[in-house]
Amino acid sequence: MSYDSFETLKISIDGPIATVTITREAALNALSSNVIGELAHAAGELEISTDIRVVILTGAGDKAFVAGADIAEMVDMTPVQARAFSEMGGALGDAIESSEKPWIAAVNGFALGGGCELALACDFIYASDKAKLGQPEVALGVIPGFGGTQRLARRVGVAKCKELCMTGDRITAAEALRIGLVDAVWPHAELMAKVTEVALRIAANGPLAVAEVKRLVHEGQSAPLDQALALEQRSFGLLFGTADQREGMAAFIAKRKPVFKGQ
């Protein structure tokens, strides 16, 4: 499978890890329709790959992960066009969130507006100590359109979400860590190495089990506790019918590393 056909993305594969880099550095990696479309296409291609187990998402250069949606493209949109653009960004977020593979946002600079929303769709957000995050759309007379009012509230709580979305404040990586918006902050020069370490630890585990953890945690948030627990119990039982379970437990007893095949 070739990943060389994208205009705005670079995709590099290192063993079970795919790193997707948005390459509009001159535009601070802003999310145009083309970028969103290519990211959605890349997500689909990576999803069907049996070799890729974890995806890292980042931005080119040292200034921005994604500085926001492309305002130059949005400025003359009609209400109908703006809704379609919002739905396009929303579909991308849904594709990342519903992927069986973990997605990790490596926030190496500005993650504002659509950039913050793109990170929020990922399973983990790890940030450089130089990163700045926020939802500044109200300063433009609009609101977050790619899931910010909803995923941000689920991450940091309702009041803090409203504060960030109503003030449009940009916060430091340290403050983002304090409120739970990001999961770790590392020195800028160490970010990608640290993120890759986490990705490799995840990739070493049973991929079917990892996918079930992601699915169950996501689905369980909107279900009553008794129903969510029943979903977990069902999945726990079903995984005992997989080759990965047999390999994992046999390897544990034999005191060797397991070799999982996702079967």
Q: Tell me yes or no: is domain 207-254 CATH 1.10.12.10.
A: yes
Say which residues have a Cβ less than 8 Å from residue 63's Cβ, sequence separation at least 6: 25, 28, 109, 110
SS (HEC) of the chain: CCCCCCCCEEEEEECCEEEEEECCHHHCCCECHHHHHHHHHHHHHHHCCCCCCEEEEEECCCCEEECCECHHHHCCCCHHHHHHHHHHHHHHHHHHHHCCCCEEEEECCEEECHHHHHHHCCCEEEEECCCEEECCHHHHCCCCCCCHHHHHHHHHCHHHHHHHHHHCCEEEHHHHHHHCCCCEEECHHHHHHHHHHHHHHHHCCCHHHHHHHHHHHHHHCCCCHHHHHHHHHHHHHHHCCCHHHHHHHHHHHHCCCCCCCCC
Q: What is the pLDDT of residues 91-114, one digit of tens each?
A: 999 999 999 999 999 999 999 999
Residue 2 has pLDDT above 70, yes or no: no
Q: Which residues contact 95 (CB under 8 A, 6 or more apart)?
A: 40, 43, 44, 47
**Annotation marks residue 190 as catalytic:** no
Domain positions in the chain are 9-203, 207-254
Q: What pLDDT does 1 receive? A: 52
207-254 matches 9-203 in CATH topology = no
> From the candidates 137, 163, 175, 212, which is the catalytic residue?
137
117 is catalytic: yes
User: What pLDDT was estimated at residue 4?
Assistant: 77
- Class in CATH terms, 9-203: alpha beta
Given the residues 7, 25, 117, 219, select the one marked as catalytic.
117
CB 217 within 8 A of CB 228: no
For the stretch 134-168, pLDDT in tens is 999 999 999 999 999 999 999 999 999 999 999 99
**Measured between alpha carbons, how far is 42 from 37 in angstroms, rounded to an integer?**
9
226 — pLDDT class (breaks 50, 70, 90): very high
Q: pTM of the entire structure? A: 0.95
Residue-wise pLDDT tens digits, 163-206: 999 999 999 999 999 999 999 999 999 999 999 999 999 999 99
Q: Are 101 and 52 in contact (CB under 8 A)?
A: yes
14-57 tens-digit pLDDT: 999 999 999 999 999 999 999 999 999 999 999 999 999 999 99
Q: What are phi and psi of 261, to 5 degrees?
A: -120, 0
